[in-house]
Chains A and B, each alone.
Chain A
Amino acid sequence: MTESAVNKEANGDVCQHRAVNGVKPGRSSALKEQQCHQRFVYKHDEKFHQSECNGGLYSKPFIESFEETPMLVAVLTYMGYGILTIFGYLRDFLRQWKIEKCHIAREREEQKDFVPLYQDFENFYTRNLYMRIRDSWNRPICSVPGDKMDLVERVSHDYNWTFSYTGRVVKDVINMGSYNYLGFAEKSGCCADAAAEVTLKHGVGVSSTRQEMGNLDRHEELEKLIARFLGVEAAMAFGMGFATNSMNIPALAGKGCLILSDELNHASLVLGARLSGSTIRVFKHNNMQSLEKLLRDAIVHGQPRTHRPWKKILILVEGIYSMEGSIVRLPEVIALKKKYKAYLYLDEAHSIGALGPRGRGVVDYFNLDPTDVDIMMGTFTKSFGAAGGYIGGRKELIDYLRSHSHSAVYATSMSPPIVEQIFTSMKCIMGEDGTTIGRDRIQRLAENTNYFRRRLREMGFIIYGNYDSPVVPLMLYLPAKIGAFGREMLKRNIGVVVVGFPATPIIESRARFCVSAAHTKETLDTALSAISEVGDLLQVKYSRHRTLPSLDRPYDETTYEESED
């Protein structure tokens, strides 16, 4: 279906060659099995597993912790869900027999004998669990979501089925939920001024696609800047981050291709992979053994039934996973990708701007070569305080996408003020505006992240993820604590994001904080003391201060040598 200049390369041939020869790459004696050094570091009574293996693929300690769920908590969580489910059935029963009014969509009278529409578990969950604690989500705000924000106060008199506004505003709520990593979501400053000026000059919309009349010179400049920022040959910008993934993956992979996707990938990547019609295999989260096994199997066995080699193998990973706060093991992924000659699609939605000494994402964080990643994708929605997404890579790739991607052909081009916001903030990060604001913010974010994570860990919460990731998930587990945490924090004037079932596994409910460069130390301290107070009140300081090594992975099995055939 899709043959790009880039994709015509060796991959298919290599696969064929391997499949025909029947050489199992991992077994080949040419590969030197490297002894792996595992080191244990003791710090704050905790035991960390620091991966130092594979000849030092990592230039710095890569510490990631996922403390196990305490058994008692897991049991209580299931029990809690059990009780709530029983009451859910009771309420459904009452609704069915019209004893109680049904507030939510249901089949009409004349549809009663057809296939039921609202019977699956998701609907049951929404109706009977989510609705009860709905006040912790979708809170309307009425100011810029910077380090503080104003909330529109609302109340519900019928247990969250409807809300009414009281007309009051909750002022200066500390915002711990926005992906405003570098604090560029602000209503004053260079970015806002530039965007305002452009709005007056160009208006807010372009009303045409890039391929027709919607191509402004500023768009081209922006793309050049992005390419320079990323250190790649060319880049292309799109008006929507989600569509960048879901519309470009189908242009890159098609039938007969294999997509290897991390199990916790964002919905946009999953949608894109499904739309492409390729075969999708899922590897365990950030688990390189699992990925290597899939790669090996793919090359050895080829496509199912026909056993023809796969046309392309595309690995989909994210930079920072927004629910776990983990950072992709990029050096290992790149080594594997080179070893097995696959392609790599890296979604830097959360990591661009937020990681690395120069704010250029995971590639910068690990000090790798950007050209090792075939497709660099990212969004402007997070660190840049704007909207949209980009794809960067080789010039052939971008040229191909320009003519083949659905979101290039059919979507309206980016609105000029947004382009300006991205332009100014990116220049700021690169230090090309003649100030050190960008550099200071990157540094500030790193300091804030370390401080916030360290304090939370010391307080005894279970915190997931990498020590350098600004996404900080705090585990709550019990269903009632999701609602209680959101409410109690709002009472203390702090806005947090709590996450429950459809977005996480059912027992791993959590609160997720996003640290920002806009937070001052005092703001963080206020937030931390409130978190600690609520943590005591709700008894969510589960950590037993004995962090287990991150996911007990046996490292000895994988080697990252490129085979020289």
Chain B
Amino acid sequence: MKIFQDSTQQSFSGLSECQLASGKDKSRSMDVKNMREYMGWLYYQYLLITGIYVLEPWEKSIFNTVLFTMVAMVVYTSYVFVPIHVRLALEFFSGLCGEQPESTVALMS
């Protein structure tokens, strides 16, 4: 996290040197810059943890593509199928304990 703070300070001093921007603009551009630094830091951690830091760029892109595709597929699948499963599960359980008024109401409606 320290690098994050450091970069904050850096961008601070960099901006205060050129007093052109108004206060509002300054804070906004700082936020954007912070965000970028933070994303860069996150990406670096991702590189280190997965070990692809040591790979050549084309290998990195293969890994990223595969991982991205897999994550996208998981997200899409869960988006499509989870609601159905949840509804089926709800029906099943409400069938088991059908006396409960709320669930019956929910089913009927």
Contacts and interface: CB of A to CB of B under 8 A. Distances in A.
Nearest to B50: A83
A539 B48 contact: yes
Contact of B3 (A76, A80, A478, A536): A536
Interface in A121-160: 129, 132-133, 159
Given A536-B1, A536-B2, A537-B3, A80 B56 contact: no
A432 interface: no
Given A480-B47, A536-B2, A87 B59 contact: yes
Nearest to B5: A536
A57 interface: no
A533 B47 CA distance: 18
B107 to A, nearest CB: 43
Contacts of B49: 76, 80, 478, 480
B101 to A, nearest CB: 46
Given A83-B63, A159-B56, A479 B51 contact: yes
Nearest to B6: A533
Given A536-B3, A537-B3, A132 B50 contact: no
A484 B52 CA distance: 11
B63 A480 contact: no
B53 interface: yes
Contact of B51 (A159, A478, A537, A538): A478
B48 A132 contact: no
Contact of B53 (A90, A483, A533): A483
A272 B57 CA distance: 45
A81 interface: yes
Interface in A508-556: 533, 536-539
Interface string A102-135: 0000000000000000000000000001001100
Interface residues of A, number: 23
Interface string A477-503: 011110110000000000000000000
A84 interface: yes
B55 interface: yes
Contacts of B48: 478, 480-481, 484, 538-539
B52 A83 contact: yes
A216 interface: no
Given A83-B63, A87-B59, A539-B45, A480 B2 contact: no
Interface of A: 76, 79-81, 83-84, 87, 90, 129, 132-133, 159, 478-481, 483-484, 533, 536-539
Interface of B: 1-3, 44-45, 47-56, 59, 63
Given A480-B51, A537-B2, 20 more contacts: A79-B50, A83-B51, A87-B59, A132-B55, A478-B48, A479-B51, A480-B47, A480-B49, A480-B50, A480-B52, A480-B53, A481-B48, A484-B53, A533-B2, A536-B1, A536-B2, A536-B3, A537-B3, A537-B44, A538-B48
28 contacts: A76-B49, A79-B50, A80-B50, A83-B50, A83-B51, A83-B52, A83-B63, A84-B51, A84-B55, A87-B55, A132-B54, A132-B55, A159-B56, A479-B51, A479-B54, A480-B48, A480-B53, A480-B54, A481-B48, A483-B54, A484-B48, A484-B53, A536-B1, A536-B2, A536-B3, A537-B3, A539-B45, A539-B48
